[in-house]
Structure 1
């Protein structure tokens, strides 16, 4: 079937009538909701190009990319795209996902065919000054699916995934190293008994505001941003829309004055929710010790209780996450010239 590309600038172009149906059919989480793509694009460091792949008019997949031009100032993009640069394919606002996906779980050969069509169309859209594509979060076995003969690979932080097949949290504890298990249980009991601390687990809209989430994310974002073409921190309008919806879970820690001192945001999903972010006040600024580890206990407890297959724990702190039972999936960035 003939492949056509629908290219969109989420800042200005209206949402395709079938976008939400496409997102749902592909099992993509809330960060791909079009209003969030728009909020992300307005605050991004470079123009966002969203491409819907269509066969005979039917949407079969999508690719999100940033157009990293040669001009240094974002203001230069106001009137249009730059004349030269590279295309940076990545998921908007979330390093635990890829920037490309399809409906129906096509096999490797079919994925390669669709991505070849994307790159051919992309070259026509961007023009001759654009020199290639950087694909982020490439898993083992995927480089062969990505178009191009010359490919420069840069290993990046692995992705941690924790399966949660257990009937209760004690079964998770049982599989951990004894020292880790004992420390997690002890800290969880201590924090639960702290009269000056409240712990909430549930829909984010009931527990936190976008402004509170932004304040706690800021320092953590700076510590753990990607080293290759780093992404900008998520803007306040984005976080306002994100936490107000129905697809985000929060683990929120508040002190006796109801001040938010720790927060984990989880992108809900029927099988594998994604841990989007963690942020906390340091103890010297009024926070509590050990909230980071306690947050994992609450996450696992929630996932088991909700019947999830597992949790995508994200990137960073790989060995800590391995000690909690997570598997580490190798990841890389792949630069491919046109």
Structure 2
């Protein structure tokens, strides 16, 4: 069947009528909900181009990319665009996912053809000045699926995945080394026994407001502003929509005055929920020690009780996550001249 592409700027273009059915059929998490794509796009550092792939008029997949133009401004994609730049294919607001996906489980050859069709179509859409692409979060067995003759592989941080096949938390503890196991248990008991500290796990909308999540996220982002290319923090409207939906789980730590001390946000999924973010006040600012590690205890316990296959713990702190039983999955960015 003929492949057709629908290119969308989420800031301006309306949601396609079949978008939500497509997202759910592909098992994609809430960050791909169209209203959240719109909020992400308005706060992004570069215009976002979302493309729906259709065969015979039926939506079969999608690709999200940032248009990193040659000129040092974001531009307004709906009215004009840079004549040249790099197409950066990545998931919106989430480094633990790819920027492309399909319904069902297409064979490698079919996926390769779909991606080739995307490259041809997006090149026609943007013009010949867009001379290269970067595909992020490419797994070790996937470089052959990325279209192109010349490819430059750029290793990135591994993705940590923790399988949770146990009946209870003791199964997880049993696989850890003794010092780590004893430390986690001791700290969890201490937190549970602290009358001035509460820990709640459940739907984010019941436990935290968007404003609280934004404030704690901003506090945590201060630690990383020395990076060469710091990411723009999520906007308040984006976080309000995110935590207000029914696909977000939170682990919230509060003191006796109801002040939010620590927060983990988890993108729910039937099999592999994704740990989206963690933030906590430092002890110097009234926070508590050891909440970071206790958060892993709480989220692992939640995943086991909920019957999940596992947790995607994300990127960064690879040694810590490996010590907690996670598998480190290699990934890379693939740069391809067009």
TM-score (ref. length: structure 2): 0.97
Q: CA deviation at 1:155?
A: 0.7
Mapping for residues 53-202 of structure 1, pairs under 5 Å:
53-75=53-75, 79-202=79-202
Mapping for residues 1-338 of structure 1, pairs under 5 Å:
1-75=1-75, 79-221=79-221, 223=223, 231-338=231-338
Whole-angstrom distance in 2 between the partners of 1:147 and 1:49:
19
What is the SS of the residue equivalent to 2:140? coil
Whole-angstrom distance in 1 between the partners of 2:28 and 2:225:
23
Q: CA deviation at 1:70?
A: 1.1
Unaligned runs of 5+ in 1: none
Whole-angstrom distance in 2 between the partners of 1:104 and 1:89:
21
Q: After superposition, what is the alpha-carbon deviation per residue over 1:123-159, rounded to whole angstroms, capped at 9, x for unaligned?
A: 0001011111111111101110000011111111100
Whole-angstrom distance in 1 between the partners of 2:232 and 2:118:
25
Whole-angstrom distance in 1 between the partners of 2:117 and 2:97:
21
Q: After superposition, what is the alpha-carbon deviation per residue over 1:40-65, rounded to whole angstroms, capped at 9, x for unaligned?
A: 01111111000000001000000000
- Describe the shift of the 1:277–1:310 C-alpha distance in structure 2 as closer, same or farther (beyond 3 A): same
- Describe the shift of the 1:227–1:328 C-alpha distance in structure 2 as closer, same or farther (beyond 3 A): farther
Whole-angstrom distance in 2 between the partners of 1:166 and 1:203:
23
Do 2:53 and 2:59's aligned partners in 1 also have CA atoms closer than 8 Å? yes
- Describe the shift of the 1:189–1:321 C-alpha distance in structure 2 as closer, same or farther (beyond 3 A): same
Do 1:176 and 1:323's aligned partners in 2 also have CA atoms closer than 8 Å? yes
Whole-angstrom distance in 1 between the partners of 2:75 and 2:321:
40
- Describe the shift of the 1:43–1:108 C-alpha distance in structure 2 as closer, same or farther (beyond 3 A): same
Whole-angstrom distance in 1 between the partners of 2:184 and 2:65:
40
Whole-angstrom distance in 2 between the partners of 1:77 and 1:140:
34
Q: CA deviation at 1:216?
A: 1.4
Q: CA deviation at 1:255?
A: 1.0
Q: CA deviation at 1:231?
A: 3.6
TM-score (ref. length: structure 1): 0.97
RMSD after superposition: 1.6
What is the SS of the residue equivalent to 1:233? coil
Do 1:224 and 1:316's aligned partners in 2 also have CA atoms closer than 8 Å? no
- Describe the shift of the 1:228–1:310 C-alpha distance in structure 2 as closer, same or farther (beyond 3 A): farther
Q: After superposition, what is the alpha-carbon deviation per residue over 1:9-68, rounded to whole angstroms, capped at 9, x for unaligned?
A: 001111111100000000000000000000101111111000000001000000000000
My pick for the range that moved more, 220-229 or 302-311, is 220-229
- Describe the shift of the 1:272–1:192 C-alpha distance in structure 2 as closer, same or farther (beyond 3 A): same
Whole-angstrom distance in 2 between the partners of 1:50 and 1:229:
23
Do 2:9 and 2:77's aligned partners in 1 also have CA atoms closer than 8 Å? no
Q: After superposition, what is the alpha-carbon deviation per residue over 1:289-319, rounded to whole angstroms, capped at 9, x for unaligned?
A: 0000000000000000000000000000001
What is the SS of the residue equivalent to 2:54? strand
Whole-angstrom distance in 2 between the partners of 1:226 and 1:7:
35
- Describe the shift of the 1:228–1:282 C-alpha distance in structure 2 as closer, same or farther (beyond 3 A): closer
Unaligned runs of 5+ in 2: none
